[in-house]
Amino acid sequence: MRLSSGMLGLVLCVWLACATGCERIDAPAQSEALLQAELAKGPSFIRGDPRLSVAHAGIRRLEFPKVAGPGRSFRERIATDGNGRYSIQPLDAQDAASAEWESFELVQRAREGFLFRYRDFLVRDPRLFVRNWRTTDQGRMVVVAGRSCALHRVERTEGEPIVFELSIDADTGLVLASQELDAGGQLVSAMTYETIRLDPDLGAVAWHAPANEELVLDPSSASLGEAIGAQALQPRLLPGGYGPLSAATVGDGRGARWLMLTYSDGIEPLFFFQALAEGSQGVAPHSEARLGRVPAAASSVVVFEIGAATAIQGKVDGFDLMVIGKAPQAELLDLIESSLP
């Protein structure tokens, strides 16, 4: 479904609010002993994000076959300092007109934090990963950007089938190439390092600086409503295999703030947003009209695609809500309905 420029702008502003990280909470899963046993025998990428602990710089090619324009295939430069700082900057796109590339580049730079945290393959919660995914060592090595890499296949066993094919650097654990395939075996996305240096000169790197006024909430709090000083909706029916990761309030760049609840199946993130009214914790003043409050009888939503993700945005029973994730439309609609009081 095609969006108006105003609605699309709102969606992008709120989605960009995901750009900073949040604290995780443990999802109920296996016993700690069983989890640790699974982690110990599994590949290194299950146990953490080596991008944050291995200083490196390189150029990567990214492909998204379902995306039109310069975002279909482009290159970017990545740098990390091994202590949590990072930078990703777009370089060029294949067959892109100058004006198209300039617009695309601006969006990429604005989404730098989100892209680093949520675009690449990453195990976001080991418990959920062990429950929902199966990893197979392919038993052979390949060379990527001059580095020896082990091949791994990661398949989702809960919900709609998704497959990741990974090339893992044998020495650092960095994912130097990845392909995501959908249930039909079609390519959804691909990332490949063309060059990489493990002793980079980082003196001139402009590190990412978050600017979304994020306020991390205690996910163990008995009531998020008490934490934000307002009624907080919390979905009770999640897509199969998903569990909670984090909670925060974020600004959308237009003066409004949103409650952001993040869920995951261990790899894929799913975001639930609720617009907050004036007076909620950390919320800048704004009118009910700006939030789009409407009577329950006028409830409506719009469903559309953002790349491989499905987004649903609208006003439901007087609440301004949005959900974004790689899950079937029906399950995302059930999630929204289950959040209502």
Provide the 3-class DSSP secondary structure of residue 138: strand
**Per-range mean pLDDT, top range of 105-109, 152-156, 289-293:** 152-156
pTM for this predicted structure: 0.81
User: Is the CATH code 3.30.200.100 the one for domain 215-339?
Assistant: yes
Pick 325 or 281 by higher pLDDT.
Answer: 325
Cβ 110 vs Cβ 12: under 8 Å: no
Q: 43-197 with 215-339: one CATH topology?
A: no
Which of 102, 89, 92, 113 has its CA nearest to residue 15?
Answer: 113
Provide the 3-class DSSP secondary structure of residue 207: coil
User: Is the CATH code 3.30.70 the one for domain 43-197?
Assistant: no
Q: What are phi and psi of 207, to 5 degrees?
A: -75, 150
Q: What is the domain partition of the chain in residue ranges?
A: 43-197, 215-339
Question: Residue 290: is its pLDDT beyond 50?
Answer: no
Band of pLDDT at residue 47, cut at 50, 70 and 90: confident
Question: Residue 23: is its pLDDT beyond 50?
Answer: no
230 Cβ partners below 8 Å, 6+ apart?
A: 276, 277, 279, 280, 281
Task: Find tokens 């003043």 and name the residue.
Answer: 285
Instruction: Give the mean model confidence (pLDDT) for residues 125-151.
Output: 94
Q: What would the pLDDT profile of 221-247 be if each residue is shown by its tens digit?
A: 567 777 777 788 999 999 999 999 999
Q: What would the pLDDT profile of 56-68 be if each residue is shown by its tens digit?
A: 999 999 999 988 8
